[in-house]
Structure 1
């Protein structure tokens, strides 16, 4: 099953973030459903994304699948190439990425992940439990500095 992201931004339109609402419309929420980005992202993780953000190598991005443009997927932008981005998942056992479908055109890359929010496991019954979850669950999604080294080592 291909990686899937459920976009939780119903009024977004074309995805540039410039529609109704201005700056607030530049951000949205997406939910990860499949394991292609494990260990960075897990199924159930929520992503705060920024539409129209500049993408750099190593960034986690939300894009339309090149063969099924109604399907949103999340991958890491590895390298800029002629015609778009080479994207790959962080999970080496899932190959639903550019190794399968090639370079992704720029117009299919719709957002860059900004923050990951991992849902709590079970009910948090204490302030300490909530704080512990918050510290581990809310993390910025940063470019993987070692990702290019991992690719060269394979």
Structure 2
């Protein structure tokens, strides 16, 4: 499961500093590219990025848009420059045999990383309970 996102920094306004709450959203996983971390139909809580919002972190899971318009859920590996020289991210699938990612499409521009995944809402996070022997 992804780690917590960085806190949202305050934004400057003409009258000083004002805190803006994060813009939350939902994403639904389709496909098997993020197995075993995420499964098809998992519901994810995401924080949308905007000016002053948290930046992706290496190891975090994000919602991004490939150049062809495809929305995708992938893991951030490291910052990289795109072919046009813009800052971007190298995004990979957790299940490389099933996913299309930066190995196929190249780095994703920083502004095409739309949201940070902060948790899975449904199904509830999987917890393995130890069996008690009496």
Pair in the same fold by TM > 0.5: yes
Query: What residue number does 2:61 align with?
Result: 60
Q: Deviations over 1:53-104 (max 9, x none)?
A: 321101100001222x2x3110001010123000001002124000000010
Greater per-residue strand proportion: 2
TM-score by length of 1: 0.60
Displacement of 1:40 in angstroms is 0.4
Residues paired across the two proteins, number? 100
Q: Please identify the structure whose Cα radius of gyration is greater.
A: 2
From 91, 94, 97, give the equivalent of 1:93. Answer: 97
Displacement of 1:114 in angstroms is 0.2
Q: For the aligned residues, what is the CA RMSD?
A: 1.9
TM-score by length of 2: 0.68
Runs of 4+ aligned residues of structure 1 deviating over 6 Å after TM superposition are: none
Q: Deviations over 1:6-57 (max 9, x none)?
A: xxxxxxxxxxxxxxxx626x11001001110000000010000001132110
Q: Which has the higher contact order (CA 8 A, sep 6+)?
A: 2
Mind listing any 5+ residue stretches in structure 2 that lack a counterpart? 1-19, 82-86, 128-134
- SS of 1:23 mapped into structure 2: coil
Greater per-residue helix proportion: 1
